[in-house]
Structure 1
Amino acid sequence: MVTHSAAGGVAGVRSPVRTAALVVSVVFLLVGVAGFIPGITTNYSDLTFAGHHSDAQLLGVFQVSVLHNIVHVLFGVAGLLLARTAPGARNFLIGGGAVYLVLWLYGLVIGQNSAANFVPVNTADDWLHFFLGVGMIALGLLTSRRAAPAR
């Protein structure tokens, strides 16, 4: 006999959507913490709280600031909390993916040296946000699909 849990799956078995959300959440947490580690973040002494004047770069590629790192950590924590249920995990992946697509568009529209670039983002960040958005939405949709009932 198979029992179903209130979390949206078979008791004792984590659903694929929950696993995907947990993995994505842990990656965001790790990236957020890595942004505060000199060496992993180049030009660490140029790390500012916010704004395009932060010349710190995660892995020497992605422009970061204290605010940018905090947002990654908070996004990871939110994902961990939402991944406790299948519907929450799906919402995190699809909703978070949509947020990242909006952030991608925002990065394309604003000037990198503009005061509006408060996060801050550079071209590498913009395209990473695009792939994160598409990937998260795809994970949310594909891992939460229900199999058609057998006839």
Structure 2
Amino acid sequence: MSRTDLAVRTPAGHESQTMLLGVFMVSILHNIVHLAFGVVGFLLSRTAQGAYRYLVGCGVVYLLLWVYGLVIDHDSAANFVPLNTADNWLHLLLGIGMIGLGLALGRGAGKRARHH
């Protein structure tokens, strides 16, 4: 196996050819990012205000990842997570969905907390 073959098969960085469901590019770093989102979500879910902050804050981060994915060259070292077009669409939908849910449900949670 040549050194080039090893570089293509590395599980981290933009050169990772590992795919989830044959659509989404993944790597060790990508998995760590999603694991961090999950841990933060778990910790902030203890209160309505924390859940609201998680949804809106992480929604904004996903929208930033979407913009980042649009402006970088997917074959460059700048694509360190790595991202592809499917990831970009997923980040856009997650960002809009999370912010929308946070705003829609956050208002009701705040009113319920004041009435108890």
Normalised TM-score (structure 1): 0.65
Q: Could you tell me how far 1:48 is from its partner in structure 2?
A: 1.4
For 1:122 and 1:60, the matched residues in 2 are separated by: 12
Q: Structure 2 matches for 1:1-151, cutoff 5 A?
A: 46=9, 48-49=11-12, 51-146=13-108
Q: Could you tell me how far 1:46 is from its partner in structure 2?
A: 3.2
For 2:69 and 2:9, the matched residues in 1 are separated by: 21
Gaps of 5+ in 2: 1-7, 112-116
Per-residue deviation, residues 75-113 of structure 1 (Å, max 9, x unmatched): 101100001011110000000000000000000000000
Q: Could you tell me how far 1:47 is from its partner in structure 2?
A: 5.1
For 1:115 and 1:70, the matched residues in 2 are separated by: 18
For 2:63 and 2:89, the matched residues in 1 are separated by: 10
**Aligned position for 2:114:** none
Q: Bigger relative contact order, structure 1 or 2, given CA contacts below 8 A and separation 6+?
A: 2
Normalised TM-score (structure 2): 0.84
Q: Given that residues 47 and 64 in structure 1 are in contact (C-alpha distance below 8 angstroms), is that contact kept between their aligned partners in structure 2?
A: no
Q: Structure 1 residues 84 and 47 mapped into 2: Cα distance closer, same or farther (>3 Å)?
A: farther
For 2:20 and 2:10, the matched residues in 1 are separated by: 10
For 1:100 and 1:144, the matched residues in 2 are separated by: 19
Greater fraction of residues in helix:
2
Gaps of 5+ in 1: 1-44
